Every structure is written in structure tokens, then in C-alpha cells.
Amino acid sequence: MAWPLVAHAQQPILPVVGYLSTASPEADATPFLAAFRKGLGEMSFVEGKNVIIEYRWANFRYERLSAMATDLAQRSVAVIAAIGGTPTGLAAKAATSTVPIVERAAS
């Protein structure tokens, strides 16, 4: 009787990537989000399959970045992708000294 329970007892835990952006989903989706997902795919990561992405969008309200970066750090993400230049990177760096941060500068 215990066999079926054992088979379903442990599901693999997926890594979580924090995506922190100064922009909105609509503004960011075309150039940066597509490239971000492509880069993940090149490393064999597929959203929803073997990685979870936690999105935080500041909607160009830079004062929100600090709280959003702190939220991601408290969720124990594996890495924070800081998209949008210096303000995003600084907010992420202020929120954590243990989570790796990958920055994408504004073009």
C-alpha cells in the first residue's frame, strides 16, 4: 500500500530566478524579456518546466525598486536578474549580499 505514496512523495524543487525590471511588462517584453528567455533556453532552462521566474515590474516608478528587490531576496531566489540599468542593480545589491545579481544595463 505504501508504494504509490512513495512514488508521489517528493517532487523536484525548481530553481527560482528573480526578474527585477524598471519597466512594465508591456514595455520590457519585446527587447529584454525575449532575450532573457532565449538566454535561459540556451542554458537548457525553460520557464515552468525546470525553472520558475518571479517577475517584479516597477512600471517606471523607481521608488518601488528597493521594496521589490527586498521581496525577491526574501523569497530565496537563486539569482536576481536586474534589468534596466544602475537603479535596478543598486536596489538589488542593497537588498542582498548573498544572492548573485546579473545586471542588464539600459541601452
| Percentage above 90 pLDDT, the chain | 65
User: How high is the mean pLDDT of the chain?
Assistant: 87
Which SS3 state, helix, strand or coil, does residue 55 take?
strand
Sorted by where each begins, the domain ranges of the chain are 14-104
What pLDDT sits at residue 81?
A: 95
Q: What are the pLDDT digits (tens) for 19-67?
A: 999 988 887 666 778 888 999 999 999 999 999 999 999 999 999 999 9
d(CA 21, CA 40): 17
| Residue 97 Cα to chain centre, angstroms | 16
Average confidence (pLDDT) over 89-95: 97
The CATH class, in words, for 14-104 is: alpha beta
